[in-house]
Amino acid sequence: MSRIGKLPITVPSGVEVAIDGSDVSVKGPKGELGMTIRGPIEAKMEENVITVTRPDDERDSRSLHGLTRTLIDNMIVGVTEGYSKKLELHGTGYRVLAKGNDLELQLGFSHSIDVAAPEGINFAIEGNTITVSGIDKQLVGETAANIRKLRVTEPYKAKGIRYEGEKIRRKAGKAGK
């Protein structure tokens, strides 16, 4: 039995969960999310507790059991608290400007790079720190990864975009005579 999959999910007050066959929708103070449960996995809600079950011990059922439970829990956390990731810009001349809800990045190229905010994502800028926030955990992480990919931190001078608290393994470079 999956250790994660068998844990019940408690629904906090102020959150409405609707399970209609294989469709699950979660509505809370920050917004609304929905997903479709795959395969033989079933979700049931009794009082304010959601349980995710699987019918057998087949490989596909076992792999989807814990995943489905975690995705439903992430939706509940997203509509109540939300998710955010912080990115830091390090480098001479690297800066970020807000253009409405979009970003304009100066990353040492001859041109500036414009990043459009996907629907449901908000950007906040404090100095050279970008905060990506939203209710969908996957979309927040993917958007932050796409911004980081524009200028990955290089190991010699540690210039580039990195996550807050990320450790960069530095390389020594050439040794002089």
Summarize pLDDT for 125-150 with one digit per residue, the tens.
Answer: 999 999 999 999 999 999 999 999 99
Structure confidence at residue 103 as a pLDDT band (50, 70, 90): very high
Antiparallel, parallel or unpaired: β 129-134 and 121-126: antiparallel
Q: What is the mean pLDDT of residues 70-89?
A: 96
Q: Which residues pair with 20 in a beta bridge?
A: 23
Q: How far apart are CA 96 and CA 60, in angstroms?
A: 44
Q: How many CA atoms lie within 13 A of 9 on its CB side?
A: 24
144, 163 Cβ separation under 8 angstroms? yes
80 phi and psi angles, rounded to 5 deg: -100, -50
Q: Percent of the chain at pLDDT above 90?
A: 86
Summarize pLDDT for 7-51 with one digit per residue, the tens.
Answer: 999 999 999 999 998 999 999 999 999 999 998 999 999 999 999
Q: What is the mean pLDDT of residues 61-88?
A: 95
What's this model's pTM, rounded to 2 decimal places? 0.90
